[in-house]
Amino acid sequence: MRKRFIPLILGTLAWAGTAAAQDIRVAPGASLAVDGDSTVRAFSCKAQKLDVKLQQAEGASLAPDALASALTGLSFELPLAQLDCANDTMNEHMRKAMQAEAHPTIGFKMSGYTAGAPQADGRRVLRIRGDLTLAGNTRPVELTGIAASTPQGLRVQGRHALRMTEWGVKPPSLMLGTMKVREDVVIRFDVALEQQH
């Protein structure tokens, strides 16, 4: 009887530990945009859906005092077909410049991050290190995000300036060359994380 009882206790404890775990997930509505300028006008290409994958530490929490060690991995892949510049001609030129046929996605894989001390308003600066892949070229970057607490968990918004030519991307030229896209663009991201109870 005792031999049967011990595994039962251990199994119950293991189940209780699993049930008590609080998973972190990405809330619906994560987005990414690429903002740029040209000799004619500014533009913004937006993706209303961003598939973000997370790996979390055991017992992870989005509480401010535990944020620095909550995640062990983060990555995303964005199909260029989902990036919309609100102009069919601009979409065509953007995808051609990004070599979408050969390299159909933009990708990012985190290698680590740090969380700064809470500011006066409670927000924290995140420095997110990783590899960004554009047009088949991968380079290390450091993204800066501002993390703010929400009733469900955390919202991270940030931006990163980059030069397209450093990734082998030739800025598009439209209207017989009268509109030339400048090589410096800004990537903006907005991701909400939720703690599942």
Give all domains of the chain, ordered by start, each with its CATH number: 22-195 (2.40.128.110)
In the prediction, which pLDDT does 5 show? 40
Interval 145-166: pLDDT, tens: 999 999 999 999 999 999 999 9
Q: Do 132 and 105 touch, CB atoms closer than 8 A?
A: no
**End-to-end alpha-carbon separation of the chain, Å?**
36
- Region for 100 from its dihedrals, namely left if φ exceeds 0, alpha if ψ lies in -120 to 50, beta otherwise: alpha
Residue 168 has pLDDT above 60, yes or no: yes
Strand-pair partners of 107:
77, 133
pLDDT in tens, 109-143: 999 999 999 888 889 999 999 999 999 999 999 99
User: CB-based contacts of 192: which residues, under 8 Å, 6+ apart?
Assistant: 26, 27, 29, 30, 150, 152, 153, 154, 155, 156
Whole-prediction pTM: 0.82
- Please report, rounded to a whole number, the percentage of residues in the chain having pLDDT higher than 90: 63
